[in-house]
Amino acid sequence: MSFDVEEKTSLIAQWIKDHDRVVIFTGAGVSTDSGIADFRSPGGIWERFDPNEFLFDNFLASEKVREKYWQFHTEVYYTILKAKPNSAHQACVALDQMGKLDCVITQNIDNLHQNAGLPQAKVIELHGNALRVNCLSCKKEYDRKEIQQRVEGGECAPQCDCKGLLKPATIAFGQPMPFKEMQAAETRSANAEVFLAIGSSLVVYPAAYMPLYAKQGGAKLAIINLAPTPYDHQADVVVQEKAGVAMDMILESVKKRM
């Protein structure tokens, strides 16, 4: 391990020791060690499905698109079911137990933060959750397992009891972002004392604005990602390392200081 990474993670640990409002923003890179590939990476799911086909307006307009969307999302669902939280998720839980974590704002739809033991109230899901299903008409929420059984039983594009369209509770391309979650994420980011953006390319908007809100609010900003991001030049510290490795180092360093 390079001294440079050790030095940077040690600095982040000192920030965490000195402050109590730590906001962690997580992207796909936090879940890759759990076996959930980044959709955009080589071998990712977008090599087999065309994301442009799944625009929200197309989902609303076409039975054929809805059928294909559920086919695509069935593959996503079973990948998520097999996944287990990794050390990056567990580090977030540990920081919460130390009284340091304000919240986790996540782009991920895999429920792994909650599975690791983070209270639901501490997780703001900007892009939804693949383990739930919503009716687009009456807004009724279903457990995904129940609806998935109907899909497996031959309902290729299931409908609600009210005859409304059912859709996994995740944000499709062109679908409005969830108002309550966006408002909460913006407020928490702007009020953060320390903001860690972990495993995100920071190219998907409006989620990618969160580190900027934090920086504008006076937070210490750290970006932890294997590849460069558009906001590296605005960060106080940039760590090019795997999410789990970096978070393990940060957590150990925090423990030594507590």
Contact 46, 40 (CB under 8 A): yes
71 and 90 in a single domain? The answer is no
pLDDT level of residue 37 (50, 70, 90 thresholds): confident
pLDDT for 48 equals 63
CATH label of the domain that carries residue 184: 3.40.50.1220
Structural domain including 142 reads: 37-82+130-170
Residue 54, pLDDT above cutoff 90:
no
- Domain check: are 111 and 235 in the same one? yes
Q: Do 122 and 144 share a domain, yes or no?
A: no
Q: For residue 152, what are the CA distances in angstroms to 53, 71, 122, 143, 146?
A: 22, 10, 33, 15, 10
Q: Which of 213, 183, 218 is nearest to 15 (CA)?
A: 218
Boundary (domain end) residue, out of 113, 146, 170: 170
> Residues 140-170: pLDDT tens digits?
999 999 999 999 999 999 999 999 999 999 9
Q: Which of 140, 170, 200 is the last residue of a domain?
A: 170
SS (H, E, C) 93-141: HHHHHCCCEEEEEECCCCCHHHHCCCCHHHEEECCEEEEEEEECCCCCE
Q: Which of 73, 89, 113, 127 is catalytic?
A: 127
Structurally, the chain folds into a number of domains equal to 2
How does pLDDT run across 79-136, given as a tens digit for each residue? 999 999 999 999 999 999 999 999 999 999 999 999 999 999 999 999 999 999 999 9
Q: Which residue has the tokens 């180092």?
A: 249
Q: In whole angstroms, what is the distance from residue 148 CA to residue 95 CA?
A: 35
13 and 102 in a single domain? The answer is: yes
Higher pLDDT pick, 242 / 3: 242
pTM for the full predicted model: 0.92
CATH of the domain at 54: 3.30.1600.10
Contact 131, 54 (CB under 8 A): no
Helices (H) and strands (E) in the chain, counts: 9, 9
Do 226 and 154 share a domain, yes or no?
no
Q: Which H helix or E strand runs over 198?
A: strand 194-198
**Same domain assignment for residues 93 and 191:** yes
- Residue 127 a catalytic site member: yes
Give residue 36's pLDDT. 87
The confidence band for 7, taking pLDDT boundaries of 50, 70 and 90, is: very high
141, 166: one domain: yes
Residue 231: how many other CB atoms lie within 10 Å: 19
- Express each pLDDT in 209-240 by its tens digit: 999 999 999 999 999 999 999 999 999 999 99
Beta-bridge mates of residue 26: 106, 198
21 and 143 in one domain?
A: no
Co-location of 140 and 257 in the same domain: no
pLDDT band at 41 (very low <50, low <70, confident <90, very high): low
